[in-house]
Amino acid sequence: MPDSSATSAAGDGSRKVAQLDVNQATRLARKDKQVIRVVTGQAWVTVDGQDIFLEPGDELPLQAGKDEVVLTCIGVCPLVYEVS
């Protein structure tokens, strides 16, 4: 599940900015507390057996855990998202 990404400093932490094309998905490890924020596009996030849909500007805080998060781009345009 490929994605195009770049990492940059964001204040006292780091931030990963990545893009998924329509119907493309990726898995995110949950080693630490993190926040997923949608910049553009629409996301379908599956975490702990729950499906959550995010729009631009929406944020989803995640606790550390053993299960991965599945992030899928839905809609008609690519998904750009940040993980911090």
CB 42 within 8 A of CB 54: yes
* Beta carbons within 10 angstroms of residue 10's beta carbon: 12
Domain CATH for 52: 2.60.120.10
pLDDT value at position 13?
A: 63
The structural domain count of the chain equals 1
**Stated pTM of the model:** 0.82
Domain ranges, residue 60: 4-83
User: For 31-52, how does the pLDDT look when each residue is reduced to its tens digit (9 = 90+)?
Assistant: 889 999 999 999 999 999 999 9
